Structure 1
Amino acid sequence: MEVVTGFGEIWSAQTLYAYLKHRGVKVAWLDARDVLIVKSDSNAGLGEKGSSSSTGGVVPLWVETAKRMEEWWNKEGRREGINVLADDGSSVGDLAGQAPIVIGTGFVATSSEGVPTTLKRSGSDYSATIFAKLVGGGRVTMWKNTDGVYTADPRRVPEAFSIGSLKYDEAMELAYFGAQVLHPSAMVPCIDSNIPVYVRNIFNPSFKGTVIQGRCSSLGETMEGKVVNWRSNTGIVPIKGITSVDGVSLVTLEGASVIGGAEVAERFMGAMADASIDVLMVTQASSESSITVVVPENQGLSALNALKSTFELELSRSNVNSISVSEESMAIVAIVGEGMAMQSGVSATFMSSLAKANVNIRVIAQGSSERQVAVVVSNQDASRALRAAHMAFTLSQTMVSVAVLGGTGKIGSALIRQIDSQRQNLKDKLNFGVCVNVISSSSKMLLGNSDTKCLVCTGDPNEQLEGPEAVDFDIDALTKQLEADVNPHRIIVDCTNSDAVAEYYDKWMSLGINIISPGNLAGAGPLDRYHALQRAQRENSVEWQYESSVGSALPILSTLRDLVQTGDDVQLIRGSLSGVMAFVFNNMSEETTFSEAVRLAIAQDFAENDVRDDLSGLDARRKIVVLARELGLDVSLEDVEMESLVPDDIMEKEYTGSIQENYDAILEDLKSLDEPMMKRWKEAQSEGKQLRYKFKINVASGKCRCRLEAVDNSDSLFRLRENENLVAFETSRYTTSPLIVKGAAAGPDLSASGMFSDLLRLGRAFVGSQS
């Protein structure tokens, strides 16, 4: 296998040599198998590309190799006219002519037994640096198909970028943990002579790429300074890159407490060595004498069998509780950088970013040099972990993936317009971006493409959902798409106000997805479901934002939470939470009837799709329930005493036309209320009062009510303007005068701005968790 695998490199090098020679270029041919002698484990195989196992334990036999290199140089080099210079710069021997290009084969070598072999996967890099050391090269340039070494794999982290410079030690750490652009051992030959290694892009030769040179400071040298928090060093990023190794397994020995700890470790690692197992990471809990090693997935069972054989007696006597290998495929994710040493908060930032991304950590290890911290996570979480860490260390802008359900409605469309208009502002001032990757209506949905997972959200969402890329709405398929999204910061904005959609909140939260719901069906729905959602929010460390479900853009819920969390005793909440009711009773007059005022409210886009929800008090009742539950009251809709302005016959009537046709039909039926409502309005006016749809929550009694009242000028609702909401908090601190939150709260733009505020609040939290 080693012989056959090496022919590709040999033939391609011979082809290039023949081509250049044919073109008249002065060129020499070097078959590495004649020169490079290595010690290699013939049973190790070629190794997995991008894994530390690709080194395969290959070590050049430098004395023999240098001798053969000198022999080749004196024989073939003189024949080809290589211009060899002495130390003083003078020509050696009778060599003449310009120094030619030497075409040498990479990847292949000869074993100490004289058998053709290879330097394992990605071994051409290793060949280049080996020969650079042998001939005293001034530099090594590795031509790749990327712009140097990246901060992360750009296929998994689209925001990754090329690193300008690395130290040898950093490059080796990155390569060891899977940076496929480099061979893990390639730096070693260049270290003694400090030969710089350049990684350049053959398809973009003008780009400088990455230069690798110099050693990292030793731990002893680093510890001469003082510990500082890396966030306090403005502009300093402690890590250079983030990398991963996919397809690993955990092999664990547990409960060997009756055996000496040193003996357990010695026998454990001896068993790994005897079975030629490539150990990538080691962790040990001495209190339980348990050891876990991380090995390539294809060596997991071999490692398990080796340990069972070694500890067979202890297992039979129950001196060792168990030896196991993980069934789930795992991945190593590591952060690497010289700047991590003596910098506090680096590990905390790393772990916090993974927690925010809902990534479970199975194993943690830190190198003694403090140049890397590695964790083991589920293979399916690896991409999300890479992106989360990349954002956390400000190596890239924090991106938020957003799914807008009900995006074709008035509120959803307004939100999409606001997001699009504020993109640059979010980037410049808040350092995060918003990627809308799902837009849906009640019947169709549009999912982001497979490359960027991001939709262009300019234009009319209705037109986008009528396009050929839209598919039938399927909430299960949508959930799978959101689960597969590797972005660590995912948000669903539910503009549907649908009970069926609210039933999925629990599942979405369990997937680590944050939710913004401007509708109040979830917050005011069944009490059992509400409590389940609160638990899911806490257990999964996600956010459920529903500030806009009560007062659109008004900070009503956040004000209430601040009062409660600062220890204030909220005793009474009162006010008006219906913008439609405020508009109607502010616009009624001798000339404007009740039904006409309702028609004007509908024309202003203030009403729900079914205006009966507003006029019956159902919408206000839901908002009251949300407020009461924030106070810890176990209140449901039926517990709210409510006065409906719509007779039962109109409430129970089915309207089966379009939204506008239903509006027209309802308005026609509401004309029957013009006379009695005008009578109540005139009575209030004659007493110098105003009609207001007023609610009250008495915390002590737990009673909630909402009804139409005539209020005088001593009531804060007296001067309520059209489409305004007002909430007054009477507390143990606000005794002489209540704390009042008041402002416009009706219309799709205001509702959308409330959701946008929720989105900004989450975005700032994501950025803040990384600061």
Structure 2
Amino acid sequence: MSSLVVNNKLVKHAVQIHKFGGSSLASIECVNRVVEIIQHNCQLHDIVVVSANGDITDDLIEIYQFALQNSEQLHQSIEQLKQKQRDLVFGLLNESNAEALFAELLCDFELLAKWLQIDISEHEAELLAFGECWSARLLAAILAERVCPSFAIDSREFLVINNDVDCQVDYDVSQNHLSQLLDVQKLAVITGYIAKNTLGLPCTLGRNGSDYSATIIAALTNAQNVTLWTDVDGIYSADPRVVPLSRKLHRVPRSVAKELGRLGNPVLHAKTLQPLERVGSHLHVASSFDPDMPGTEVGDFGQIAKQELSVTYANDLLLVQSESFVGESGQLAFHKFSAISGDLDDGQLVIHLSQQKAVSEWLASDDTEVKFTPVSVMAIVGHNVARRGNVKARFKRALKHHQPIAFFNQLHSDSLVSVLPQPCTGELLNNVHHDVTKDARHIGIVVAGLGNIGQCFIELLPQQLSRVSALENVHLVGLVSSKKILFQSDGIEAECATQAFEEHAVDYSEEALLEWLSNHPYDELIVVDITPSESFSQLYSQFFANGIHVIGANKWAASAPLNEYQRNLTLAEKHQVLWLGNTTVGAGLPINHALEDLQQSGDNIVEISGIFSGTLSWLFEKYDGSSPFSELMSQALSDGITEPDPREDLSGRDVQRKLLILARLAGFELSLEDIACENLVPESLAALPLNEFLSRAEELNAPFKERLAAAKKMSSCIRYVARFKTEGGEVQAKVSLETLPQSDAFAALTPCDNVFKVVSNWYQENALIIRGPGAGREVTAGGLHSDLVNACRQLANKQHQVKLKGIN
């Protein structure tokens, strides 16, 4: 357990602060969920901070207003609130604990009754504090009953601020008082929102002030992390309750988060981040309604996070124009009234409507003219956005029909503020959000497999990123070999990727790989699988289940057992992920594209045949009997044309898998066992160690010489051919060494070429022929880049409907 010394006293050092908002504590179901979150995420040395349950604070404000008005509804409102609290207490605690806690709560209602008999206005802050006190007592009692020793702390016992306007904390006094209250053997549940001023009078931190309380307590205890548990699973590019197609911002720079809070982001209180600057605590925003969903991190990040944009707005504002707001006096006014924005050269400030009287009184001594204009503001927030001309131009175009009064960008470099003469509507916010952020989606790519083709793919990447517009927001973020891994959330420079991998890659486990991929901070993540690994292909189902797209040159998944293959297809469809594999067959040749297009367009494919192996194409185009077959195979091996073990090619298994992949793309439910395969390796050589096989390779010569001689007698040649055919509901499929006439389309190929022949309802008399290089690092890497561009174009149009589990 961590600890620190304050005034020579050993006290608890909170490692984590967990703050739960009102919506997270709104009902019996919600509170039970919070208890479960605490059970799984908290230790005794952590601290829990709470808001009032649900809308209790609104109920208390209503009671206060009814009391001032002597309303007939006052008694009814009090009884309704009492019943609401009773339902929570008795619905969450065992009977004896519930009775004890409710008796304590009734004392508060008796106190309220006394205040109503005198002057309730003198007790406004105390009345509003009831909500947090009741919430903290209830949660502490539940935790003590079910989870661990726990107790409630009223933050008025330690938290001292100058007043309820500035809310500036006296950290030395507050830390000293808090250190005496904490108990290293119990989990503390502390009230948010409330405090006391320097005179010892109760006061509040303003609406949504519980977040500010949490970060203040983090600063007082040197906590490493603060998690704000709310009804939204992070900070979004707009209020997701208004803009359903807003994007989660997985990582937000501190300065941007601070500006979002200042401009009224629904998740961040304006002062939330200030205390964290004292101790450098990490801020995490998560949803108590979906605790397993990755939230938003606020911290110091690189260029990817700095490119993010968010749109926010505020109504019920005033544009104030006065000569007294020019220059230094304007700066003073800006800070005094926490102005939203302004132009100090023209003497303009935007303030809240409620501040009109205070501003008028402040200006009275200057005896200058002042003009108040009702306005709203809409703002674009992002790192250094005031200096990003393209964003400013797009923002102006989006608002050109709404006659903005002004655009301000001189006071905060992380925001562009538009002042509008009419209130901002949900429709306007949706339209502006679409126009400004439509191409801001960030796509991370992870390259798995760093052999010849993988290296070539990476070598091509820099020029592809610079010249293909569809790849504008693509970032290389991970490199994976069979033993090492490198992940950099802020991106790996493509030009230096290989060097970065050599210098910084670390050992990894499959579990660590899946954990990082499942919690990636991007709008989309694509794994480019260039491995020959069957075990890596078996991770696809977990990739798909986590919304991760796959581009694969790896044949194993596409030719897996039928039930496994179909399960992957179902998962990909369910989670709306892409699975592209054009390079599984034919390297960069578009045979996969062609079959998918025919199938999806309504054609009926009846036959697929051809030469699918670049290695076997080279061998049998070159083999004319002038030299033994074993010498030719040895040359192909040394030139890198065959697999390291040539038996992988000669077995026909690679061609068998390719034919299976194509048949499945054509809509047929085939298994590998349905395709007959002629193995060109004699049984006597099949199981030998590689070196022994190579030393006895001359045993291949006689069988091939005999097959070639027989073919020549018929003026023919030998080729390794794949054939699939369906007729009358019967399917025939095989891969084998065939004797072909010299005039056959498969007979005269450039060595290493593949050729694919497709017969369908649309292509009968004149079959569709696709021919070209079927192997080679450049063409295969090019085919992978083709798939990447195709994927990014599809993802650019993908829309994510935000699902707010706590709301809709």
Q: CA deviation at 1:744?
A: 0.4
State the partner residue of 2:569. 534
State the partner residue of 1:178. 268
State the partner residue of 2:578. 543
Which of 484, 507, 514 is matched with 1:444 structurally?
A: 484
Amino acid at match of 1:726: V
Mapping for residues 215-614 of structure 1, pairs under 5 Å? 236-237=397-398, 370-372=427-429, 393-394=436-437, 397-407=440-450, 409-426=451-468, 429-448=469-488, 452-458=489-495, 461=498, 464-467=500-503, 469-614=504-649
Change (3 A) 1:390 1:624: farther
Amino acid at match of 2:772: G
Please list the CA deviations of residues 157-207 of structure 1 after superposition, one character each: whole Å capped at 9, or x if unmatched. 4699989xx9xxx99974445374799x99889606357899999xxxx99
Gaps of 5+ in 1: 1-36, 49-64, 66-106, 124-148, 219-232, 240-335, 343-366, 375-388, 656-661
Please list the CA deviations of residues 97-154 of structure 1 after superposition, one character each: whole Å capped at 9, or x if unmatched. xxxxxxxxxx99999x99584664899xxxxxxxxxxxxxxxxxxxxxxxxx997899
Amino acid at match of 2:125: D
Pair 1:615 & 2:650 matched: yes
SS at match of 1:726: strand
Amino acid at match of 1:423: L
Q: CA deviation at 1:622?
A: 0.4
Q: CA deviation at 1:765?
A: 1.2
Amino acid at match of 2:320: S
Q: How many residues of Structure 1 are paired with residues of Structure 2 in the alignment? A: 479
CA distance in 2, matches of 1:116, 1:513: 51
SS at match of 1:626: helix
Change (3 A) 1:570 1:192: closer
Equivalent pair of 2:652/2:677 in contact (CA under 8 Å): yes
Equivalent pair of 2:718/2:738 in contact (CA under 8 Å): yes
Q: CA deviation at 1:513?
A: 0.5
CA distance in 1, matches of 2:481, 2:510: 11
CA distance in 2, matches of 1:597, 1:760: 38
Q: TM-score, normalised by structure 1?
A: 0.53
Change (3 A) 1:764 1:47: farther
Q: TM-score, normalised by structure 2?
A: 0.51
CA distance in 2, matches of 1:599, 1:392: 60
Q: CA deviation at 1:479?
A: 0.6
Which of 309, 315, 318 is matched with 1:191 structurally?
A: 318
Equivalent pair of 2:589/2:770 in contact (CA under 8 Å): yes
CA distance in 1, matches of 2:130, 2:419: 31
Please list the CA deviations of residues 671-698 of structure 1 after superposition, one character each: whole Å capped at 9, or x if unmatched. 2212332343344345433322111111
CA distance in 1, matches of 2:399, 2:701: 71
Equivalent pair of 2:316/2:376 in contact (CA under 8 Å): no
CA distance in 2, matches of 1:444, 1:489: 23
CA distance in 1, matches of 2:591, 2:444: 27
Mapping for residues 137-148 of structure 1, pairs under 5 Å? none
SS at match of 2:125: coil
Change (3 A) 1:373 1:733: closer
SS at match of 2:770: strand
Change (3 A) 1:158 1:728: farther
Equivalent pair of 1:47/1:121 in contact (CA under 8 Å): no
Equivalent pair of 1:150/1:161 in contact (CA under 8 Å): no
Amino acid at match of 1:455: I
Please list the CA deviations of residues 490-510 of structure 1 after superposition, one character each: whole Å capped at 9, or x if unmatched. 011222232222222111111
Equivalent pair of 1:551/1:745 in contact (CA under 8 Å): yes
Change (3 A) 1:453 1:176: closer
CA distance in 1, matches of 2:652, 2:777: 19
Change (3 A) 1:162 1:684: same
SS at match of 1:500: helix
Amino acid at match of 1:473: Y
Q: CA deviation at 1:575?
A: 0.8
CA distance in 1, matches of 2:430, 2:493: 38
Identity of aligned residues (%): 25
SS at match of 2:673: helix
Amino acid at match of 2:675: V
Equivalent pair of 1:38/1:109 in contact (CA under 8 Å): no
Change (3 A) 1:216 1:693: farther
State the partner residue of 2:719. 692
Change (3 A) 1:644 1:188: closer
Please list the CA deviations of residues 603-660 of structure 1 after superposition, one character each: whole Å capped at 9, or x if unmatched. 44333343212111110000011111223322222221121211123222233xxxxx
Change (3 A) 1:44 1:566: same
Amino acid at match of 1:705: K
Amino acid at match of 1:443: K
State the partner residue of 1:300. none
Pair 1:41 & 2:119 matched: no
Pair 1:728 & 2:757 matched: yes
Equivalent pair of 2:261/2:271 in contact (CA under 8 Å): no
Equivalent pair of 1:568/1:733 in contact (CA under 8 Å): yes
Q: CA deviation at 1:592?
A: 3.6
CA distance in 2, matches of 1:503, 1:392: 40
CA distance in 2, matches of 1:608, 1:390: 52
SS at match of 2:680: coil
Gaps of 5+ in 2: 1-120, 133-163, 165-193, 210-234, 239-246, 274-311, 352-372, 378-393, 401-416, 801-808
CA distance in 2, matches of 1:493, 1:238: 40
Equivalent pair of 1:689/1:711 in contact (CA under 8 Å): yes
State the partner residue of 1:672. 699
CA distance in 2, matches of 1:437, 1:651: 42
Pair 1:739 & 2:747 matched: no
Amino acid at match of 1:677: F
Change (3 A) 1:601 1:764: farther
Q: CA deviation at 1:736?
A: 1.6
CA distance in 2, matches of 1:611, 1:190: 76
Q: CA deviation at 1:46?
A: 13
Amino acid at match of 1:178: L
Q: CA deviation at 1:764?
A: 1.2
Change (3 A) 1:176 1:612: same
Equivalent pair of 2:236/2:249 in contact (CA under 8 Å): no
Change (3 A) 1:38 1:685: farther
Q: CA deviation at 1:338?
A: 9.3
CA distance in 2, matches of 1:40, 1:417: 67
